[in-house]
Amino acid sequence: MEPKQPERTDTAVSPVIRGEPVDIPTPVWGALVEDDLRRIEAETAEREAGADRPKRWLGWLSVLGFVATAVLHAFAVHEAGYGSKDAGNALAWAAIVVSVASVAVGVAAAALGRGRWIGIVGAVGALLANPWVVLQVLRLFAA
């Protein structure tokens, strides 16, 4: 013979803080369940809708590296022509390093699908803005 289960009754909770009862209104059992379920379903639907689209920040980071490479290259050419050759040399090396990093990030973006086409544009642009690559192309046409 199984023990009989007691009937479920609605109760209110009155916690005691520092020896004094505090009146905290508690809802009747099941009063908010339907509203809570609708809210949870809406939040889940929003999360699932955003999860379908991959994040593109890796591709945009590659484009940012491309822009930084182009700017560093322009400053390097200006400094080498009108200012200090050492500063121009340092800026050119910085442009090369940023370009290599941008190409690596662009290839990673293309491989991982995180802004695939944006990453490819950033990688190709950074490769073309690389001072060493530009020097090799100019030497090819000068010969």
Question: For the chain, what is the mean pLDDT?
Answer: 80
pTM here is 0.60
| pLDDT recorded at residue 115 | 87
Asked whether residue 103 falls in the same domain as residue 64, the answer is yes
Asked whether residue 62 falls in the same domain as residue 96, the answer is yes
Q: How confident is the model at residue 107 (pLDDT cuts 50, 70, 90)?
A: very high
As for how many domains the chain has, the answer is 2
Of residues 103 and 10, more confidently modeled: 103
| pLDDT recorded at residue 102 | 94
Asked whether residue 85 falls in the same domain as residue 130, the answer is yes
Q: Can you tell me the distance from the alpha carbon of 124 to that of 109, in angstroms, rounded to the nearest whole number?
A: 13
- Residue 65 scores a pLDDT above 70: yes
What is the residue range of 96's domain? 57-142
Q: Are 57 and 115 in contact (CB under 8 A)?
A: yes
Using alpha carbons, list the distances in angstroms from residue 104 to 98, 111, 113, 133.
10, 10, 14, 16
